Structure 1
């Protein structure tokens, strides 16, 4: 049996962890079961009646969905794979994540998960959202609220279509047009069914307590019906309309894209970039100049542009009306040098007369600012670039040229005419399509728009009157600035792709030409409804027209904007809609405040007459430890599952190699990974990752994420584990409370202090959860367990258990039990797996910790500020004493300590002698009142002006050797200080971190110089 177990263990260790990272969640049980079989087949301890499991086991044998067996012996060390196995399936089977009515039926908490893209896998931004929202949701659930956290997944129109199109081309060398719309959509659905649940499974691994029974997809029938209904209503009301206007156009995607899908790249000067459709890199960051000849004159007007090809579509040259250089040319014309058109010279205040020549070429069909000028001056618009990025409506020599090839051809043509003035470096912002990496081209297109003016103003009013609040509060100003301007910026909602909600609008095509040539459109859920509508609206007979549905689909953000109510079955008045809409809170990233938050508020009010939520909580953008944007090309993009399960540097490199990065970028990324993760990333587990993410102040605009923090919290998990093991050992199995601490007389100040710290913890958790300052909650939880409970109280309790005082033992046992039980409930929203594992062992037969009562201040009324202040002094004395002993390399057995203070302090310290002895464990400790004698040969450190710690050195150290060591230390510190001060003195920019180092060096110098002075005051015998 032993050999069999050993063989299986080797096999599992080779493949198990990799399988565990890649398999679907529903299959995890089989690995758990296999691992459990290995564990139960392992050699057994002869002297134990309990089942033995090695620390790397995932679980005791557990069938899918059954409660994990916690009667087996607790492993000696924390192991996240062991702890995190089996619990999630049990939670789901028990229905803990579905809303349950509490005693107070008015207490409801509803929140929607920002729908992740169906194409996606979990990234650290998702993990931050998941950790923060789940902590808030679990806290409300544990406080007795009827809690609902709704999951959803977005069809991600452009992103998904790009993925499937690439797959189609890779496997069959076909485009979507080759297979046709119907077949292409069938393939997208097939891809979605096979890949679409990946991110859900990863969220389950993150412990997200979402109500999966309500999970929805934005292309579901229910959601699609809501989208069509919203479009039809808004179109019938005249708020959705169709017109020609400039859009962000991706020639690679052949579609308009939203502003959020445009990355504005700063180009400082001539820069070569690869653009889809071109075999060689194209140059950007240059300004070209050329002359426009003035008609009937020898004058010329020089204009400049970074997009020389657009001059083929110029319809004016603009100057400032007050510019004296051009006043004589007002109302005149210039001659277009390449197609002989007459172009007017117009006057407009938009022109900056101090920039360049003060004259600006106007290309209304390909520039947003120029378009606005053309509206004011009623200029013609010439669209010179088609959907694929080729030239059209231009002189024959340029027709069919790609736009950047045309740029060079235009330069040559102007140069032949003697009008080209050359080019020079120029800083610019280049708009790049985030999906295709194409350079965005503003193109004039007939598109569908929503008139947002009234809805935007209403969205401003609800914030002004306090119906809608923001955390952090400063986002109100940003909200006002955007939405008060939004009334002049209507929302383009059509996209020229196939995957998505096809626009439910039908063009009326008349069989005769008797009516106006204006386009006629109707919107309806079905073509049949559209025919009936067209007959009534335009007084047409059925045989006079046909209908043609628009080929375009709706912007993904349109369906996302309806999510808070469409998920409940709107427009039908369902039970869920009436009960759970509106929600209480929206938590999301600050980068989509306009693209999603504002649109949900506008359409929520418009469609339902209610705000979709009353509070908005925004988190910042996650960056790496150096403050850099997460980018594959930098090698700093980390999959949260790699943090949970661990990954080697070699496998990190393989991920980059398998990406679509340029070979040069791959090498840069690998070097970045080598620098940041030379040993790879160790397995930290879900709880440590969640706790680390919540430990940052996520309300900050930018959050610098350091993976090493997750590793430190993984160690903290082990600290909790070891603390629990100590408690379990001292209170025994199935401990039953026998003391009512609320009425029990507690003599020991240390016991009273521990209850005070526990009450303080509960208070801080309650306050900071309510204000969504989760980083303060995590800090309080960390500090309590690490510093108060383990570092002080457990050490103190060891002496109590070594005594013969049964009453004291019983009191300490009760406090240990209360602190541990309270703590497991308090930390559960952040560490659901670890808290469940230990809570079930502490409270055998109890329900899940995730539905236990969260600690409330009403039940913890032991807070005592005076006790806290006294113990803080005791801990300061301990800290300084241990620091002195370490500095002089004195072991505890040789350390003789004297605490000199006032008589009042000495009286107080006498109450804490047991804790002094427990925490210091020195050879001797004496209290000395002011005026009392301190032996010769002592070094001292002041705690406060009234309290000083003395450590006797006489006979315990080599006086001259220590003195020589300290003098070398001082010389080294002085050298470092001189060096950094010299650097700071020369630096043009003052570095704050350098000044911090200077302060640190000076402080350390002062301490060691004091030691030297004291040692020199001793005689040769160290007295």
Structure 2
């Protein structure tokens, strides 16, 4: 395949200036159009890495938290793919029942058209589908813009036919196992959306409210009881007052009745331990239909449950003077009337926690309602442990690991106190519950629409109007996206059919290849919404699916994922949580437009580590935009020298000498091509090898920050600031030293190409552009359609260590020391000066002397001489390994030099005192490990040597 066929525009040269806007969209489109990341089922025994995208709401748009999450997932997926694994990242979106329905209802209202109720269910659902087709791809379009390396051929929507049929099958199976039931319980009711919402969809707000003390007269006129409440309107639904059986104030009243104010009803006084004698008056009004604790009291005492509010939180008591009033208007009127008849004792301010709906912002109203529930703590009728017990064991036994590990404890605490899951929502958009009611109110749960009631044979059937909680369908995604249920047996049909049967389940090819998934990357905010529910449903349903060899599946192989990585929260530059009210929300698209996707990705990665929030600072992104520019300019330098090599007739030899292991697959031995190469060449290969090792381990540990910073330091510091400058010494196209030039240029190309591959998961756009141009410049066919499909540099791919790497590190120290001396002594920048070097190890002096050409280039050294004895005096720098002196005659500023040396001497004396104190501490010396003691002694000796040299230099200064 030619280069032209593998790229969108076959770039053969780089633009003079780096402009991300000219390359990013091009390559993003190319990756999708060429289907580069489509992933077939893995062959048996093939290493696979599978990750599922937490499906964003179909109503959503990209925010900075999404971008962090997507950046981390993309880095990991690209890294695993480049490490030779079958890497699959599955994308998709959630139908987001409440959010989407609310969006469309607002759209209808804005258009001045009919309401949902007037439109009717079928027409309204059609309108939602129309909205989804038109606007639902906004966030996936943005994902493409980010360059997410997902398999778009597997993109799902949680209401696709296959997934909808899987939801039906799961619901029916759970019902057949006795785990799904319908009953009347207190739920969190959103009066705006007119649906039940889960505890997890309710936010608690601290507000200052009112506490109302109300007198309830005894029916026989002999006294009264005072109760306190924050919701006086609910007294219309009171069916008792509870007191603690041990409270001496009320023991004589237990069993008597009270006249309920503003009503014509009498209610009993009951004894219940829920009433706390220490709180308020110790007497509690009981409204079973509008408070979960009251509901429990009502059950214990067989009290009636009187519902007084309708679905919109208006009083629903025909004939009552309050009928039709909003709950808060009714409160005002009731309080006024209580005061008028002398039953309002007092009103005082009261700090309280108010439950508020995440979706609508309305105050949640506890409401008695018929709902569908999943019994999570009950053993299924088919045998085995409860859903919750298996989910707890999966984590406790180590089949699922949390990073940071503190979230394991949080998960276990929540799971151990979990209640039955309310599955039903009073919406029209979503998976409609597959249950039907006959005229006699018998319930039939079925995979297909029944023609008659199996209990009474009635053909007058009506389907349940409620839909399932969105998290029920998304909780099954780790296995439904891979073909569950694959049902076999008599009467069964293919996956995707509406006529699924309750036959035995078997593995689909994708389930065999990709389940369990390897990793889930997500935020803390959906740990219970989604993570816990995936674990519950995965460990329950997948244990029913046998392994490929027919053996029963264990709990370890039933989990939906092996690891959960909880990513950080992105805050603003002042570490404040972002919110629209604060006006500090960051739009990632704006930042991308300004600096480029690569720079934003690298900014997020460079700060992403387990358990640490990110303070997003635009100045840092600007810095990484400069980093990208540095990489671009290094490429231009490289291509310029490749062109010079061609002009000098070296191009054929150059290509022959390249040593670029880009092919995916098994590691290969480090090449010996560079043995005997110049010191800087051996050193840069060592640094490349060590950096790739660091990056590999950091990504295994989800230390994106360590990986990014290692690459940054290698590419900018070691490669650009040092190696590019050093290699200029070797590049000579005059024809006098072709062998050295060929070797150095080949090494330069090899290292740069490897560095691009190492950077690619972090900055995929700039590396893709340069990589293709590099092969075009060399006249070679690129080894793959994309850099993303090549081999990630491995530690063993390149020569490591050796005396040359150690020598280069010492040589750098010498250069830095000479630069410091030149600055301190005022040697003119462009003037070369000779240096003396002394080291107790003769090899160091000879090594420095043999690399005089490097010192000339990097530190403007005219000549290097090796001294026979330690150096001191002006222009000298001493280290534990060597002394170096710049020989430059000029008038010394004696006072300034004395001041500098005096400060150094004081620093060394302080260090010696501290070391002497530790070394003289017998207790410490007796307890400290041997290597610590040895280190202290070595440090003491080196400090003493520097102290003595500095003192001698100070004493040798002429008097002022």
Q: Smaller-chain TM-score range? A: 0.7 to 0.9
Check the 8 A contact 2:52/2:90 in 1, yes or no.
yes
From 459, 467, 480, give the equivalent of 1:566: 480
1:730 matched to 2:652:
no
CA distance in 2, matches of 1:703, 1:566: 34
* 1:816/1:369 CA distance change after superposition, 3 Å: farther
**Residues 477-516 of structure 1: per-residue CA shift (max 9 Å, x gap):** 1221111222xx1111111111111111101213xxxxxx
Which residue number corresponds to residue 503 of structure 1?
433
* 1:101/1:841 CA distance change after superposition, 3 Å: farther
1:603 matched to 2:529:
no
From 454, 465, 471, give the equivalent of 2:397: 465
SS in 2 for 1:691: helix
Check the 8 A contact 1:365/1:382 in 2, yes or no.
yes
1:342 matched to 2:266:
yes
Q: For 1:174-213, list aligned pairs within 5 A.
A: 174-213=114-153
Q: For 1:210-229, list aligned pairs within 5 A.
A: 210-229=150-169
1:423 matched to 2:347:
yes
Check the 8 A contact 2:687/2:714 in 1, yes or no.
yes
Which residue number corresponds to residue 695 of structure 1?
606
Check the 8 A contact 1:124/1:622 in 2, yes or no.
yes
Which residue number corresponds to residue 371 of structure 2?
447
* 1:147/1:744 CA distance change after superposition, 3 Å: closer
In terms of mean alpha carbon deviation, does 546-555 or 297-306 score higher? 297-306
**Residues 411-465 of structure 1: per-residue CA shift (max 9 Å, x gap):** 2122123232433333322222222111111111111111111101011112222
Q: For 1:610-649, list aligned pairs within 5 A.
A: 610-645=558-593
1:859 matched to 2:768:
no
Gaps of 5+ in 1: 1-61, 270-284, 511-518, 646-682, 966-1009
**Residues 892-917 of structure 1: per-residue CA shift (max 9 Å, x gap):** 23696978764325456445544444
From 11, 21, 24, give the equivalent of 1:81: 21
1:754 matched to 2:684:
yes
CA distance in 2, matches of 1:239, 1:490: 10
Check the 8 A contact 2:604/2:614 in 1, yes or no.
no
Which residue number corresponds to residue 811 of structure 1?
743
SS in 1 for 2:731: helix
**Residues 529-549 of structure 1: per-residue CA shift (max 9 Å, x gap):** x235x32xx1x23xx451111
CA distance in 1, matches of 2:113, 2:840: 91
Gaps of 5+ in 2: 378-385, 488-507, 544-557, 660-670, 901-946
Check the 8 A contact 1:118/1:153 in 2, yes or no.
yes
From 226, 231, 254, give the equivalent of 2:171: 231
**Residues 870-927 of structure 1: per-residue CA shift (max 9 Å, x gap):** 5555545555665676688865236969787643254564455444443333688777
Check the 8 A contact 1:265/1:429 in 2, yes or no.
yes
Which residue number corresponds to residue 48 of structure 1?
none
Which residue number corresponds to residue 768 of structure 1?
698
SS in 2 for 1:126: helix
From 856, 873, 885, give the equivalent of 1:934: 873
Check the 8 A contact 2:13/2:773 in 1, yes or no.
no
1:799 matched to 2:729:
yes
1:368 matched to 2:368:
no
Which residue number corresponds to residue 721 of structure 1?
632
* 1:326/1:870 CA distance change after superposition, 3 Å: farther
SS in 1 for 2:128: helix
Which residue number corresponds to residue 28 of structure 1?
none
CA distance in 2, matches of 1:627, 1:586: 26
Which residue number corresponds to residue 334 of structure 2?
410
SS in 2 for 1:247: strand
CA RMSD of aligned residues (A): 3.5
Check the 8 A contact 2:57/2:93 in 1, yes or no.
yes
SS in 2 for 1:408: helix
Which residue number corresponds to residue 435 of structure 1?
359
CA distance in 2, matches of 1:167, 1:745: 71
* 1:888/1:552 CA distance change after superposition, 3 Å: farther
Between Structure 1 and Structure 2, how many residues are aligned?
Answer: 840
CA distance in 2, matches of 1:160, 1:105: 42
CA distance in 2, matches of 1:355, 1:899: 86
1:526 matched to 2:462:
no
- State the Cα distance separating 1:553 from its structure 2 match: 1.1
Q: For 1:976-987, list aligned pairs within 5 A.
A: none
1:242 matched to 2:182:
yes
SS in 2 for 1:256: strand
TM-score by length of 2: 0.80
SS in 2 for 1:855: coil
CA distance in 2, matches of 1:591, 1:424: 35
1:892 matched to 2:829:
yes
- State the Cα distance separating 1:742 from its structure 2 match: 1.5
Which residue number corresponds to residue 516 of structure 1?
none
SS in 2 for 1:384: coil
- State the Cα distance separating 1:339 from its structure 2 match: 1.9
SS in 2 for 1:853: coil
